[in-house]
Structure 1
Amino acid sequence: MGEEKDTTAEQGRGRRGVNRRTLLIGGAAAAVGTAALASDQLGRLWWRLPGVVKKRKEGEVDARGAQWVAASDYNWRRADRPDDYGIDMVVIHVVQGGYATALRVFKDPAHGAAAHYVVRKDGHVAQMIRELDVAFHAGNKSYNERSIGIEHEGFVDRKSSFTDAMYESSARLTAGICERYDIPVDRKHIIGHVEVPGTDHTDPGPHWDWDRYIGLVKKARTALG
């Protein structure tokens, strides 16, 4: 027992000898890192200062033809994307329920999550959160900050959930997002919720036709010019 104490003490002395220099170097690096982090955070928060808040119109939508249905303020956070957080991804979701259910839960402050858009089986689109704001939809802070979330009415285990009208409408919506933020139309940048790191979700599921969807998005993106 005593020998173990002596060995530990000796290792501790060795660490202290090294740690003083490490502390000095590490402290300087930490200071630089902290300054860089502070600068980064200030760069993202400047627009919140009085007189520089971006003007917003109540009920304004980003996607042409979408219906504005506001999500609860507790299910998203205010931002100024892409000026503070770049947008380079679209995340595809499936509600595991109906369109009305999605709207109801996203308007519920206790739910704690919501997507920017909800697409109905007939192709109708509701926008619930502005694209410039961060929606709590992916279950991953970084992915939330860099993505737009699109929910689709239906169930992952029912192929019949995904209608022609839904595919086409959703593809036009995604194409518009890709055009606005110069996002490549491919599977690296248009992903399913199941592909988000750390998620326990399985949507959009095995019946979501990715080849068809990406093809429709490419066609719609080309049509935008």
Structure 2
Amino acid sequence: MGNNGSTRAGRKPSGRPSRKKPADGVSRRALLIGGGAVAAAGTAAVLARDQVKRLWWQVPGVEKPRKPGELDYAGATWVAASEANWRRADRPDDFPIDRVIIHVTQGSFASAVKVFQDPAHQAATHYIVGQDGRVVQMIRELDVAYQAGNRSFNERAVGIEHEGFVDRPKDLTKAMYASSARLTASICARHGIPIDREHIIGHVEVPGTDHTDPGPHWDWDRYMELVRRAATAPPSPTPSASAKA
């Protein structure tokens, strides 16, 4: 060719990497769509495996190993709630536990235990703490207690009732605060829950609730400090029941 002409071989390299040509009869878009389908199938498989993991113990003839009266907290005594007041689960494998919910019974310790054993009540918490510091566990932490009036929070939280009335500050005793703080610190340690007010909340703070507990007299600053101290203290198998404040 003449001086003004050029050949493809004589051009400067553009610096752009060459693109591989798709296989005959297959467009690049089709390859991308196919890759997306493979990724989607992989995601579906992961979700399916996760669902199986959550529900394996519900298969007929298969049951998650349990021992009657087994405690999650060594300082508690076991008293079973009615099975109508909680749902069998496999937490934290099926639902992560990331909240502790603080309740007040609006009644005596004995009346709270009795109510949680009543199938018609349709509600209960995992633990009850008395004014003298005693603790009963009524539902395993791995199970879902009907406690918050909010399904999501029921599934993610461990609930603790406290003996007394929200409008009677004298009901919130020194022994109760100390015992409950040890219990909450233990729950947080077992499940990796941060010790802060985002993760340790009152029933009143649950979205959609019409409850007001633990009420205006619950001393959150005092309680959170006790929980932090308990979290760093040597483990104590049995909470002490000191005199009322």
Q: Which amino acid aligns with 1:72?
A: S
| Secondary structure, aligned partner of 1:174 | helix
Instruction: Tell me the TM-score normalized by structure 2.
Output: 0.75
Superposed CA offset, 1:121-180 (max 9, x none): 000000000000000001100000000000000000010010000000000000000000
| Secondary structure, aligned partner of 1:87 | coil
The reply to whether residue 61 of structure 1 matches residue 71 of structure 2 is yes
Q: 1:170-185 counterparts in 2 under 5 A?
A: 170-185=180-195
The reply to whether residue 87 of structure 1 matches residue 112 of structure 2 is no
Q: Partner of 1:133 in structure 2? A: 143
Tell me, in whole angstroms, the C-alpha distance in 1 between the residues paired with 2:72 and 2:156.
16
| Secondary structure, aligned partner of 1:185 | coil
Tell me, in whole angstroms, the C-alpha distance in 1 between the residues paired with 2:220 and 2:110.
25
**Runs of 4 or more off by more than 4 Å in structure 1?**
31-40
The reply to whether residue 186 of structure 1 matches residue 196 of structure 2 is yes
Deviation, structure 1 residue 34: 8.8
Residues 223 and 58 (structure 1), Cα distance of their counterparts in 2 relative to 1, 3 Å cut: same
Q: Partner of 2:114 in structure 1? A: 104
Superposed CA offset, 1:71-98 (max 9, x none): 0000001001111110000000000000
Tell me, in whole angstroms, the C-alpha distance in 2 between the residues paired with 1:44 and 1:182.
20
Question: Which residue, 129, 152, 167 being the options, matches 2:177?
Answer: 167
Q: Which amino acid aligns with 1:56?
A: R
Deviation, structure 1 residue 48: 2.5
Q: Which amino acid aligns with 2:177?
A: Y
The gaps in structure 2 that reach 5 residues or longer are 1-36, 236-245
The reply to whether residue 143 of structure 1 matches residue 156 of structure 2 is no
Cα RMSD over matched residues?
Answer: 2.0
Instruction: Tell me the TM-score normalized by structure 1.
Output: 0.82
Tell me, in whole angstroms, the C-alpha distance in 1 between the residues paired with 2:142 and 2:58.
13
Moved more, 46-55 or 188-197: 46-55
Question: Which residue, 73, 82, 90 being the options, matches 1:72?
Answer: 82
> What is the percentage of aligned positions where both structures have the same residue?
69
Residues 100 and 150 (structure 1), Cα distance of their counterparts in 2 relative to 1, 3 Å cut: same
Tell me, in whole angstroms, the C-alpha distance in 2 between the residues paired with 1:60 and 1:115.
16
| Secondary structure, aligned partner of 2:233 | helix
Deviation, structure 1 residue 223: 1.5
Tell me, in whole angstroms, the C-alpha distance in 2 between the residues paired with 1:186 and 1:140.
21
Tell me, in whole angstroms, the C-alpha distance in 1 between the residues paired with 2:223 and 2:139.
23
Question: Which residue, 222, 232, 245 being the options, matches 1:212?
Answer: 222
Q: Partner of 1:8 in structure 2? A: none
Q: Partner of 1:223 in structure 2? A: 233
| Secondary structure, aligned partner of 1:179 | helix
Deviation, structure 1 residue 55: 1.2
Deviation, structure 1 residue 65: 2.0
Tell me, in whole angstroms, the C-alpha distance in 1 between the residues paired with 2:156 and 2:137.
18
Size of the aligned set, in residue pairs, is 196
The reply to whether residue 45 of structure 1 matches residue 55 of structure 2 is yes
Deviation, structure 1 residue 47: 2.7
The reply to whether residue 117 of structure 1 matches residue 127 of structure 2 is yes
